Amino acid sequence: MDVVVVGSSMTDLVSFTQRQPRPGETIHGNKFLMGFGGKGANQCVMAAKLGAKTAMVAKLGKDFYGDNTLENFQNVGVNKDHVSQTDEASSGVASIIVSEDGQNSIVIVAGANLLLSEGDVAKATELIGNAKVVLCQLEVPQATSLAALKLAKSSGVFTIFNPAPAAENLDADFYTSCDILCANESEAEMLTGVTVSDVDSAQRAAEMLRSKGCETVIITLGERGSVLTSAQHDGVLVPVSSIKAVDTTGAGDSFIGALAYYRALMPTLPLLDAVTRANTVASISCQASGTQSSFPTASQLPKDLMAAPVNH
Ligand code: RIB
Ligand code: NA
């Protein structure tokens, strides 16, 4: 497999409104859609849509949402041999409000995702150990994500960790078990205590994260692009061309899924170029509503994004 994701899957229930409601307030929305989401599945589907061979290790409920999600994995070509259903919890759902400025707020009820265990990771040892890239987030138990990252790392697999949703007091081993840590402003802030509001503060937060042990840190800054920090990259801002955002839900997942695709299928593409390309893929996803449904396929992208790197 090119990309294996050990992580979450949700059904997104999305309401579109003029603005976000205030506490105690009821407002009218103007559109509703139901779609496939969850940070893990989103990242996996993004990589698959670009052409990666992908697999998910995930837990669903034995219900309508779970059945539909399995069908979706099948339709988009994500291997689901390690996706199981439990009758002990319902499938994960996310209630999402997208306002006219393209911003969103999300409540997740992770349900069955929280039953994805270290035992499930152990059952997928062969799959994880033979992947080119393994991706993890924090919508399943932390111990499960950490076990997957450690297993991958010990087999020499390239690992990308997305500490989302934001969590405090992460096990210190997370930092030494990932090759790339990719976080947005609020996640970086939660992990470091640095208020991330611009390139400068992103660089400071990234250095703190690097000092905890991760080689490469990418902090995504929404419409401003992302900041890349590693031994070779001194907190470089990788800008992204401006677009009119319709729905930014899952843009971070689109970025990470695309980044995983480039690491797995174009390993000689310099990281800075991979980040530049992934920025563009993510910005394209913001121009359509929905999460996975807004992710572009390889054939919908400008040719240069899919072009093989020129090696000197
Ligand atoms: O990152 C976006 C995702 O967060 C949504 O698809 C929703 O399911 C939540 O997990
Ligand atoms: Na979108």
Domain housing 124 = 3-10+38-92+113-304
Residue 108, in any domain of the structure? no
Q: Which of 2, 253, 273, 304 is catalytic?
A: 253
Query: Considering its fold, how many domains does the chain have in total?
Result: 1
CATH of the domain at 198: 3.40.1190.20
Please report, in angstroms and rounded to a whole number, the separation of the first and last CA atoms in the chain: 28
> Which residue CA neighbors atom 6 of ligand 1 most closely?
37
The answer to the question of residue 23 being in a domain is no
Q: Is the ipTM of this complex over 0.95?
A: yes
User: Position of tokens 């033979």?
Assistant: 130
Is the pTM higher than 0.95? The answer reads: yes
Going from the Cα of 211 to the center of ligand 2, the distance in angstroms, rounded, reads 34
Nearest-CA neighbor of 283 among 220, 241, 229? 241
Hey, whose CA ends up nearest to atom 8 of ligand 1? 38
253 is catalytic: yes
Within a domain: 135: yes
Read off the tokens for 191: 């992990």
Residue 18 included in any domain:
no
Domain annotation covers residue 291:
yes
Q: Which amino acid is at 79?
A: N
Identify whether 228 is part of a domain: yes
Binding-site residue ranges for K(+): 247, 249, 285, 288, 290, 294
Structural contact between residues 294 and 49, judged by C-beta atoms closer than 8 angstroms: no
Rounded CA separation 8/65 (Å): 13
Domain assignment present for 153? yes
In a domain, 16, yes or no: no
pLDDT, one tens digit for every residue, the chain (312 residues): 999 999 999 999 999 999 999 999 999 999 999 999 999 999 999 999 999 999 999 999 999 999 999 999 999 999 999 999 999 999 999 999 999 987 889 999 999 999 999 999 999 999 999 999 999 999 999 999 999 999 999 999 999 999 999 998 899 999 999 999 999 999 999 999 999 999 999 999 999 999 999 999 999 999 999 999 999 999 999 999 888 888 899 999 999 999 999 999 999 999 999 999 999 999 999 999 999 999 999 999 999 999 999 865
Supply the residue whose CA is at minimum distance from atom 2 of ligand 1: 250
**Best mutation site among 8, 36, 39 for ligand 1 pocket (most ligand atoms within 8 Å of CB):** 39
